[in-house]
């Protein structure tokens, strides 16, 4: 009885060891490529929001981590990239969360120019309904481009809502919750930049991993 | 090729097809077949895991005690899936993102542990690998048909996003078949997948019935003739 248990236990342990070794080897072989891929993907999005002529220093060099429940929808620290040219700030690319999407959180990057206007908005990640809410992807529809060049005039700017609520942004047929969540998240980012620039200045720098 | 090989091929692709007959792995079948590219990506990933797990399980079958075989199979499958996931993350990043949670969920695809338990653990590595290949191909084929149908009805294209899987040259593969202003939404949503799979199973059963019917009347005809001559 005990002999059998010992034998089975040892066999299990041996297999666990072999399987773990196999995964560990694959992980170490692919680790660098994965990091490269993720950075390349993020850089692709960042370069759309902060074009190459807005900065002469690497975006990853000017990165801070900021978490703010009120303005960024999450207390988890998200990266903010600053475009710096000739030592001057030309704009930010701010990652934010729209927590009230139809199917959970929507992860966005918002590009804000030095004059407070939006250079653009991109969706990094979402789970909205295919065919309805997923029109927030640029691949599916040009809706996101309606943010380009917009600005927020103070906290009571009534234009910052979807058309159903009296604002200036179109809603999708059959999906109002998704665009409403995105508009609100972008508005909050603009509020953060205009009213609390000190939060950005005080935020800790990103770790070496970014 | 022996009769045994032929039987394995026939069972995997048609007679005992994992998606149409065993109805295993429904979750990925229904969830990721919204486009042909996604279907192909998950099909290939499942195929690789299935061959790998069948081969490994068959190779180690002498050292696996009967009492702890299931945890060992689960470990083998889980580490294979994790490796495939890491490889896809590294080399097909776009596809990795669009398949999302369904790559790690291959671990729970019952086709894989089902074949390990029912077939691979009782046979030679070569036969087990062949079985994995054929079951995987049968599974992938169903994913492809369903994915193609849903993409065609839902957004009027084929191979949309193929560059995510195959690299930039594949951008030209995209075909706009129908020009739909508003795609047939039901086809994209999970209920559409259920209905589509149901229709595919019905089609397979109809084909089988027809084939059987075509064989049967021949036998019947002989009997009738025999009767006539006896008169």
ipTM, two decimals = 0.78
Which of A100-114, B17-31, B169-183: highest mean pLDDT? A100-114
Which among B34, B60, B83 is the nearest to A23, CB-wise? Answer: B83
Rounded-to-integer distance, Cα B82 and Cα A26, Å: 9
For residue B169, pLDDT beyond 80? no
Q: Answer yes or no: do A4 and B67 touch at CB < 8 A.
A: yes
Q: Answer yes or no: do A8 and B75 touch at CB < 8 A.
A: no
Give the start-to-end residue ranges of the domains of chain A: 50-202
- Average pLDDT, rounded, for chain A: 87
Q: Answer yes or no: do A19 and B188 touch at CB < 8 A.
A: no
pLDDT at residue B121, rounded to an integer: 93
pLDDT at residue B218, rounded to an integer: 60
Which helix H or strand E contains B155, and what residues bound it? helix B125-155
What does residue A181 show for φ and ψ, rounded to 5 degrees? -65, -40
- Mutate which: B59, B80, B83, B181, vs A, most A CBs within 10 A: B83
C-alpha radius of gyration, chain B, whole number: 21
Write out chain A residues lying below 8 Å of B188, CB-based.
Answer: 130-131
Q: Answer yes or no: do B93 and A37 touch at CB < 8 A.
A: yes
pLDDT at residue B226, rounded to an integer: 47
Interface of chain A against chain B, CB under 8 Å? 4, 7-8, 11-12, 15-16, 19-20, 22-23, 26-27, 30, 33-34, 37-38, 41, 129-132
Rounded-to-integer distance, Cα B188 and Cα B38, Å: 12
3-class SS string, chain A: CHHHHHHHHHHHHHHHHHHHHHHHHHHHHHHHHHHHHHHHHHHHHHHHHCCHHHCCCCHHHCEEEEEEHHHHCEEEEEEEEEEEECCEEEEEEEEEEEEEECCEEEEEEEEEECCCCEEEEEEEECCCCCCCHHHHCCCCCCHHHHHCCCCCCCCCCCCCCEHHHCCCECCECCECHHHHHHHHHHHHHHHHHHHCHHHHHHCCECCCCC
Q: Answer yes or no: do A30 and B90 touch at CB < 8 A.
A: yes
Nearest Cα neighbor of B50 from B115, B96, B108 is B115
Q: Answer yes or no: do B82 and A11 touch at CB < 8 A.
A: no
**Residues A92-113: what's their mean pLDDT?**
91
Q: Which two tokens stand for residue A176?
A: 């109002």
């Amino acid at each position: 009885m005990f002999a059998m248990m010992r034998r089975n236990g040892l066999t299990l342990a041996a297999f666990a060891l072999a399987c773990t070794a196999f995964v560990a080897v694959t992980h170490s072989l692919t680790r660098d490529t994965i990091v490269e891929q993720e950075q390349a993907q993020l850089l692709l999005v960042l370069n759309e929001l902060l074009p190459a002529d807005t900065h002469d220093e690497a975006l990853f060099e000017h990165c801070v981590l900021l978490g703010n429940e009120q303005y960024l929808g999450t207390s988890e620290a998200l990266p903010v990239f600053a475009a710096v040219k000739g030592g001057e700030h030309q704009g930010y690319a701010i990652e934010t969360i729209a927590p009230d999407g139809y199917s959970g959180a929507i992860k966005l990057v918002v590009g804000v120019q030095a004059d407070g206007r939006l250079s653009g908005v991109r969706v990094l990640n979402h789970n909205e309904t295919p065919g309805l809410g997923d029109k927030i992807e640029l691949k599916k529809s040009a809706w996101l481009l309606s943010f380009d060049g917009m600005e927020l005039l103070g906290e009571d700017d009534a234009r910052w809502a979807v058309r159903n609520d009296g604002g200036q942004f179109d809603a999708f047929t059959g999906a109002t919750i998704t665009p409403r969540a995105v508009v609100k998240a972008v508005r909050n980012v603009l509020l953060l930049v205009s009213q609390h620039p000190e939060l950005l200045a005080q935020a800790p720098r990103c770790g070496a991993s970014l | 090729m022996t009769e045994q090989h032929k039987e394995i091929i026939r069972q995997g692709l048609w007679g005992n097809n994992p998606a149409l007959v065993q109805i295993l792995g429904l979750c990925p079948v229904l969830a990721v077949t919204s486009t042909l590219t996604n279907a192909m990506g998950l099909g290939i990933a499942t195929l690789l895991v299935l061959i790998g797990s069948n081969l490994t399980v068959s190779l180690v079958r002498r050292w696996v005690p009967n009492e702890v075989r299931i945890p060992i199979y689960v470990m083998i499958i889980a580490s294979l899936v994790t490796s495939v996931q890491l490889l896809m993350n590294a080399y097909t990043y776009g596809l990795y993102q669009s398949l999302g949670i369904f790559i790690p969920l291959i671990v729970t695809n019952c086709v894989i542990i089902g074949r390990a338990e029912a077939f691979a653990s009782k046979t030679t590595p070569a036969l087990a690998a062949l079985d994995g290949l054929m079951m995987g191909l049968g599974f992938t084929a169903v994913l492809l048909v369903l994915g193609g149908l849903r993409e065609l009805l839902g957004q009027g294209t084929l191979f949309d996003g193929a560059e995510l899987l195959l690299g930039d040259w594949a951008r030209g593969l995209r075909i706009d078949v129908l020009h739909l202003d508003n795609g047939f939404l039901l086809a994209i949503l999970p209920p559409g997948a259920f209905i589509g799979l149901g229709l595919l199973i019905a089609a397979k059963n109809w084909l089988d019935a027809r084939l059987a019917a075509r064989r049967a009347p021949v036998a019947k005809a002989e009997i009738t003739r025999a009767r006539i001559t006896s008169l």
